[in-house]
Amino acid sequence: MNDLAQFLLSGLTTGAVYALAALGFTLIYNASGVINFAQGDFLMLSAMVAATLLAHQVSYGIAIAVGIAVTVLVGVMLYRFAIRPAGEADVVSLIIITIGASIFIQGVVQVVLGKNQQVLPPFTGDTPLHVLGARVLPQALWVLGVAALLVAAVAGFFRYTLTGKAMLAVAANRLAASAVGIPARRILQLSFGLSALLGAVAGVTAAPITTTVYDIGLMLGMKGFVAATLGGLGSGLGAVVGGLVVGVLEALVAGYVSSAYKDAVPIGLIIVILLVMPHGLFGRKSTERV
């Protein structure tokens, strides 16, 4: 029983990280219909920059702030210099561009910041707390808290702000949105910046638990996508539920079956989800226009 509680709690913690990664996918997808394959690299980038600065005696707060700022800048640049010039390219081309961006970011990080695994110290100490007979790191609570906060913020953004509604309008029909005076390009750029921000915050919050290395973004991105798809692409609540489900399943498999194959769990899951319920748990059904 203690084992189970431990697995569930650690699953919820990693699940919260996936939920944060999934939120970033959701945001860009909502605004542009593009799946950003570099989303996982945003999580990696902020943590790597922050960890490197810390190693050079920069104070904790500044290191994290700079890590986040750099990542947001990269997100905006990705849109400005790669997505926007591609113009009306089809979805496959845009996918290939973001895959290129992902490899590119990984390469730059490898060359500039090194290939070694880096650790960020936790926000508030690492004395484990005891919950239901299981040990929980304080950082795990931070991850869960930050995830909850960001989910609420994103939901509020889409529901209550004009910019958020404009973003949904751009996603629904870019031409019509432009016609009623919404600056579509600026909105799209904002969506890339915001999703980079989500990824960056997720990255520095999760790094004390997951550690970070230049190629960790691939798995984080993959699992974030699984979470987003499980929840139904475009649904914020779905992204969170999806993330937690993926995290818990993974922890249970790692605990009871084989830790070597835990990474195969979300991959197997995604293939099943895509085939059996392509709209996820909370997604809306859509029909393809010909």
Partner 1 sequence: MRFSRFKALLATAAVLVVLPFVLPNNFMLDIAIRIAFAAVAAIGLNVLMGFAGQISIGHAGFLAIGAYGSAIAATRFGWPPLLAIPAAAALCAVLAWVIAKPILRLKGHSLTMATLGLGLIVNIVLINEVGVTGGPDGMAAPPLEVAGFALVDLRHWYVVAAVVLWLVILLSLNLYDSPCGRALRGLHGAEVAARVVGVDVALFKTRAFVMSAVLASVSGSLTAHYVGFISPQMASFAHSVELATMVVLGGMASTFGAVLGAALLTMLPQLLGGLHGYESILFGLILMLTMMFLPRGIVPTLALKLGRKR
The reply on whether position 76 binds partner 1 by CB under 8 A is no
Evaluate whether 195 touches 24 at the Cβ level (below 8 Å): yes
Is the Cβ of residue 175 or residue 276 nearer to partner 1 in the bound state?
A: 276
Size of the site for partner 1 (CB under 8 A): 42
The reply on whether position 132 binds partner 1 by CB under 8 A is no
The span from the CA of 130 to the CA of 69, in Å, is 35
- DSSP line for 190-234: HHHHHHHHHHHHHHHHHHHHH-B-TTHHHHHHHHHHHHHHHH-TT
- Using CB under 8 A, pick the residue from 4, 66, 80, 110 that binds partner 1: 110
The span from the CA of 242 to the CA of 221, in Å, is 14
- Using CB under 8 A, pick the residue from 206, 222, 230, 241 that binds partner 1: 222
The reply on whether position 95 binds partner 1 by CB under 8 A is yes
Tell me whether residue 5 is exposed, middle or buried, using C-beta atoms within 10 angstroms of its C-beta: 0 to 12, 13 to 18, 19 or more.
Answer: middle
Q: Which tokens go with 21?
A: 């990664």
Largest CA distance in the chain: 60
The reply on whether position 71 binds partner 1 by CB under 8 A is no
**47-to-70, 120, 123, 125, 256 alpha-carbon distances in Å:** 11, 7, 13, 18, 31
The amino acid occupying position 149 is: L
The reply on whether position 189 binds partner 1 by CB under 8 A is no
Among the residue ranges 45-53, 66-74, 85-93, 144-152, the one whose residues contact partner 1 (CB under 8 A): 85-93
Binding-site string for partner 1 from residue 245 to residue 274, where x marks contact by CB under 8 A and - marks none: ---------------xx-xx--xx-xx--x
Assign 141 to helix, strand or coil: helix
The reply on whether position 119 binds partner 1 by CB under 8 A is no
| Smallest separation, CB 73 to partner 1 (Å) | 17
Is the Cβ of residue 136 or residue 226 nearer to partner 1 in the bound state?
A: 226
Chain residues in the site for partner 1 (CB under 8 A): 35, 37, 82, 85-86, 89, 91-97, 99-108, 110-111, 115, 218, 222, 225, 229, 260-261, 263-264, 267-268, 270-271, 274-275, 278, 290
